[in-house]
Copies of this chain bind each other. A is one copy, B any other.
């Protein structure tokens, strides 16, 4: 079974207490939701995989949807962690003088994150089109915050002379779709033998740097 301890550490914070059974339920739910999707997953299947009685699920989560959200909501926060950590400005100004350094750091960081959270990431991406609540959360917390940070970063590199003068929104779009494509290819489309991580990262970064360089 999925390495649940690590997972649970991620989800479990603040005042919440997780009983052992609850941990098993969450771990099982993550696996099955990722594989078959929320709607096609039955609570009895989760219970069986978790090795608990079906009623136990509903002692901890009022509904199946609450179980989904309890898994996905904190995940969404984590997905954008690097954009909201306050250090980012310092990092930005000091360590990553060049856009290239910044991009490399960002891709490495997000790849490391995905390696640890692939299943959760899948669930978020797969359910986003269907769950209105997720979309609301996503818009409010994710889009807003990420956009704000990205805006400052883009402006920084535009003043820097490394990024062409172009609407921030467009730069962010090109930036994110390239990185998203990079991560999808690595984690969901290509097999490891089709992927040399060092080289592909270098190419992705070069593509971005040159594509956005002032014309």
The interface of chain A, by Cβ under 8 A from chain B, is 36-37, 39-40, 122, 126, 129-130, 166, 169-170, 173-174, 176-178, 180-182, 184-185, 190, 194, 200, 203-204, 206-208, 210-213, 215
Contact = CB atoms under 8 A, between A and B. Distances in A.
A70 to B, nearest CB: 20
Nearest to A173: B185
The 6 closest A-B pairs by CB, nearest first: A177-B181, A211-B211, A39-B39, A39-B40, A207-B211, A37-B130
Contact of A178 (B130, B177, B190, B215): B177
Contacts of A39: 37, 39-40
SS of A interface (majority): helix
A42 to B, nearest CB: 11
Nearest to A122: B129
B207 A174 contact: yes
Nearest to A213: B210
6 contacts: A37-B37, A39-B39, A39-B40, A122-B129, A126-B130, A207-B211
